[in-house]
Structure 1
Amino acid sequence: MFKKNISVVSTRPLSGKDIKKLKKDVQTQFPALSEDDLKKLIPSKGEISVLKLSNKAQAYSTTGGNPLFFDPAGRGDALVPTVYTLWACPHILPPLYTYSEVTPKVLGGADLFLQGLIVPPSGLGTFAAGDLRVATINSNCYPFAVGTMETSSEAIAKAGLKGKGLKLLHHYPDQLWALGDKSVPDASYTPARIFPQNEAQAAAAAKKLLPDPSVTKAMESLTFSDSSPDPTASAPAGLAETAATDEGANGTPSDAPESAAVGASGDSQTASASGQSQPQDAAELDALLGRYLVGGLHSVQDSELPMLSSTFYAKHMLACKPAGLMIDIKKSSYKKLSKLLTKFEKEGLLAQKLVHKQDNLASVNRKHPLYTSYDAAAAGKELAAANAQAEADGVAVPSSSGKGIPAGKIEVEYLYRVPSSLRPIFGSGAAKEELYSEQACWEALLDYAEANGLPAGQHALKLDKLLLSCLFNKKEPQMEGDVHPLDDTMQRLLGKLQIYHRVTRPSATEGTETVVQKGSIKSIVLQLEDRQGGRKHITRVSHVESFAIDPDELSGVLQRKFQTSASVTKLPGKNETGKEIALQGKLVHEISGLLTTTYGIDAKFLDIKTKGKVVA
């Protein structure tokens, strides 16, 4: 459900009472977790936020960290672990084992068929349809997907391993994974395929993740007995093509290497898969976090301050981290971001302050020895070299680690989804979830007319039974075989399709950011409001989310640029999910100019309104 682009609609920190309830729900729904596991996931003094997502799901995330659990329906009555949680506690749910050769399809979003499962000597266990299970390969201790069973163990005992098995809810590397720091557990993970771990890797991972003997015993099936399939054996010929449903999947088996590069910039801390492993102890993590913090400070401009601490961590600190290197701040001696920043604040490197009850980076001491001794140019070269090697080895590498708001034009394109009644016009290969551009709709209609002998001159076609029944009302006079203008037929066809819009804009961290949403795009509303008989004015800005702009970030930009106070509140209305920025002063024209020149939004998407008696 996270294959397509999603956006964070709103973020709300959980109160202490809500965090206690979340812990209780986690304990109830995942009894395999020990007390230590729970403390590792949700520290007793941890900061947790709930993120409402554009696909109606909601996720629970550590502040400035990775999503831990998500609720697919967003009703607050179900929890599903993310891959970050699965990697920290792989025993949280019973596993299903499959072959490495099958994973390319699943990584592309395909459901896992029963034919692709490996049955250990102890069997698949007992489960009902709808039960949660994780998917992993038989020689890798880290699960790569989580979903619900499409059938029961009782039905499998009767019918055998045929048909649908695991319906995917979330997997590496989908858009929910992308909301985190985009780390991977080790070099066996590549975007194209999950590979077996070598024996040393597997032993180290098992020792790190499964210190409890009772848990270790429960997970012995990871290595299988002598009668089970060889963990390093390839899948039977052709299995990768039939073991996963290919509806909506774009992954294909690849020749990716069995390891991927990882490393850390600076001090020659680069490493390949055959060399250095991921940082394990707290001291090593502390050193890396300190280095990334100083490197991140070098990329922050004074004009960008104050900046949310979580934003600094995500967009500046993690930008100094080589692709593929897993950094978990909870495993350091700091445990959370606030303590890390406080430590360096006491050393005089930086200063913090509270803005709207949230921690912000306020200033940087650029004369501090830690700052001046950092060779940003050398670190940049080492990071580029590490990322180049990682990209060559198949690890996903961010296309840009820039900062701030990049200039560039925002592109808006309307797309259309085809109902089942009109799918024959778009060919036998038309998928239910596929979106078509207007040009593609034109081409589909012309191809359909040509294939069915319907062209009637350059700008007309004959109506067949399908076109007549789907595009015309019964009271209209047109009959089957009548010649009708091509343009009008096309407009009728578009009117019967479900409309979506796709926004593509430059991104400071991803090169470009794309958001697809249902319906026509909402214009940004700029409203100037008169207060106190013209003695005070308020400028309100809403619907910036339509253009993939975070209202909280934009609020900070506007506040600093125009030296005024600003606040962000949820728009009124039960079905409204957007936010409104309110600023003191008459700033409508200044903000509209900023949105068109800096953010690249066409002026036609700006709706300027006034309320009350406003003097220009």
Structure 2
Amino acid sequence: MFKKQFTIQSNHLLKSSDRRRLRTELKECFPLLGDEDWERILPHKVGEVIVLKLSNKATVYCFQCNTENEALEFSSGGGKWGQPLFVFVPEEGGWFPTVYTLWKVPHLLPCFETHSQVSRFLLGAADLMLPGVYPTDNDGSFTNVQFGQRRSVIVRGNPMPFAVGVCCCSSVDIKNKGLKGRALKLVHYYGDGIWSLGDRSKPNQGFTLEQIDSVDNLNEDNNNVQLITQQQSNVEEEEYIAQTTSQLSIEEDGGLEHSNEVDMDALLDRCFLQAAKCSIEDRQLPMEASKMFNEFILPARPAHTVIDWKKSSHKKLGAFMKSLSKRKLCKLKEGKGQLQVLTINRNHEMYQSFVPYYDDSSKEKQSNLEDDGSSHDDVVSHNGIPQVSEMWKPHQHMKHFLECLQKNENALYSREEIREALQQYVQHKWPQKKESSENGEIVLDDVLRDALFKGNTKGLMEDIPSTMDWKEVELMLLSRMQPYHVLYKPGEEPMIRKGAVKPIAIIVEDRQGGRKHVTRIQGIETFGIEPEDFAQKAQIAFACASSVHPLPGKQNHLVEVQCQGNVTSDVTKWLLQKFGIPSTWIQVQDKRKKK
């Protein structure tokens, strides 16, 4: 049903009273689940429930966590609208769980078991036929199959459901007619549009978009499935890595035994020290502990290793961060249920003695960067946040100046590169005159005069000064060059845009004669922020209505985000902390009428 494209016609947050009513209705519809199961699926007073009404008359209920800690605790990621939990399909008779929900509680629905080769047809939106179904009983018969019953579909050897639908037959029909006809009309399956609304994860290695395979050789905990987004090694490799990790682990006490918990604790310590020494900079602090773990500590783990909180003595991220604080490796601040890392103690003995490790892939990347010789490698930060860099393109009268330095006149240069080029030129022309740089002045020769004044002088050449200040020369060179800016997104090619960086404008205005206010945010596209995604998250973060509107002008293709109420301080803080936007590129304008 959801193979065809659909559009989201409307979306809204579910109120707490409606949320309780929803949970009661779902409990009546799926009586096999206990209270603990429902806390894993739809916990009380945690996160938000977003309702999406689709163009095909279906309604999707998504669960979205408000903080990273909640996402880690309830194993709930999600896409733009959160993680889809249930779908209400009037044409098929009511409620259906999504595959994300079934992965958390596979016993939610009775299931049909099929062959791995049959799964490829179901992933193409075909219905399940009876010849491709294993009998539910050992004697080859089908019992407890009812017409119109909701059932999930699994592959033999893989306990995770990959499809859900409605039975097209009953046990009596199968007994009378034999294994002929349809067994299940497919409603939702792994890889369709509902799955695409979530984080597009998979429960184990057997799941691909082409076919579902058996995973009998994998030891998985079916009651707490960890959704993975990258390939994991097999059990033998994990045992081998656990042994090597214990040998390389950092020990605080020489009498510690190398148990599984100690090994995992040591691995967590190594990952933190690796991230602190190679990725995290002091200017990026303070930072939320969950953000530091997801974007720095977790990617810093050695190749082919897996962090399992169950095997550590900490059990949770908060306990691990507090243990680092007790050992004075970092300083924490706790408030509103969130932990923030204020500083990292870089004078600590463990930090000073730790030697960063490099795997083969990181060495290869490092060698490629060195061979490339690019000067913009440091622009892209390791925290996964898009970065914007100001660049300039030389004008035609700087040709001789760049030729003397053997530089490309069509390339883009940063402010630091222009300053270095100017210093190299002065040292090349006057290597003996050190006093010029000490006095802060530069002697202008014909090449520098052309670069600074040619085509831009109304008077005679004799009016041009013979010496100028260093900073004055640098600013004049920049003013004559064409400004550009480059957007760096992690995992994507840099986007070069003509023109200077336009700061983000946060404007608050009156509405209804000053009784109400509206906050308008303009220019966030420059920094790689999607306006629709920003508006949807702002609605939850600031507890206000938000929407996206096009800016006036036929030639203007940009949009702005409007939030009800005066939330200028909240938006400014959000842009600084969550998106890493420098304060120099944020402008706040108060256009309210003064009383």
Give the alignment's TM-score, normalised by structure 2: 0.47
Tell me which of the two structures has the higher relative contact order, counting C-alpha pairs closer than 8 angstroms and 6 or more residues apart.
Answer: 1
Q: Based on CA coordinates, which of the two structures has the bigger radius of gyration?
A: 2
Give the alignment's TM-score, normalised by structure 1: 0.46
